[in-house]
Chains A and B, each alone.
Chain A
Amino acid sequence: EVQLVETGGDLIKPGGSLRLSCAASGFAVSSHYMSWVRQAPGKGLDWVSIIYSDGKTFYADSVKGRFTISRDISKNTLYLQMNSLVAEDTAVYYCARVNYRSAYYWGQGTLVTVSS
């Protein structure tokens, strides 16, 4: 059974950094395309980043240069390193496995709050 469990969300001051984790089970993250999607409070879904099975990465313009997606094959875990955080980054962050040109499996999300 595919499972994704995000952790690492926290209250962080503007300008700070945070790393989110997404522990996968039931499959190998290295063999699949994995993505991060976020949702600001009361708002819609917002695609953030993707990492290919070959390691290639893409980012939304709003996070390019500040966020880095990566994975640890030994831990079967996906990460999102977030730097230079601003209030607009406040959101629930979901990781998702991408299949058939869709976010096929989702985690339960982790809340990041950027506030002084």
Chain B
Amino acid sequence: QSVLTQPPSVSAAPGEKVAISCSGDSSNIENNFVSWYQQLPGAAPKLLIYDSDKRPSGIPDRFSGSKSGTSATLGITGLQTGDEADYYCAVWYSNLTAVFGGGTKLTVL
């Protein structure tokens, strides 16, 4: 069991929006930076969000990140069938060791 808790699955229809939560505590999320990763079926993970709310170049603004206290959220708007994937949150501590959440499977109905 990870110290970061994510819902095992979420679903929404194409065009809709979805929020994926990542819950921790003061030892992880609250005082460190959160990143989010997308893993398409059979592929390597890909960075979506870093420093809690920043997007790398090339990541569409349909993807957003936020953090409040001991929780973080990944938001995806304008859902597409190509967004079906597993999504992981992660906390990187000050010494750059890290912990990942258990992952959330997104289904676009």
Contact = CB atoms under 8 A, between A and B. Distances in A.
Interface of A: 33, 35, 37, 44-47, 50, 52, 58, 60, 94, 98-109
B27 to A, nearest CB: 15
Nearest to B92: A101
Of B32, B97, B102, chain A has the most CB atoms within 10 Å of the CB of B97
Nearest to B35: A102
Contacts, number: 74
B26 interface: no
A103 B97 contact: no
Contacts of B99: 47
A47 B100 contact: yes
Contacts of B46: 106
Contact of A101 (B33, B39, B102): B33
A44 B54 contact: no
Interface of B: 2, 32-33, 35, 37, 39, 44-47, 50-51, 54, 56, 86, 88, 90, 92, 95-103
Contacts of A105: 47
B92 to A, nearest CB: 4
Mostly, the A contact residues are strand
A37 to B, nearest CB: 8
A52 B45 CA distance: 22
Given A58-B97, A98-B96, A109-B44, 14 more contacts: A37-B98, A37-B100, A44-B86, A44-B88, A45-B39, A45-B100, A58-B95, A94-B44, A100-B51, A102-B33, A102-B92, A103-B47, A103-B98, A105-B47
A44 to B, nearest CB: 4
Contacts of B39: 45
A115 to B, nearest CB: 22
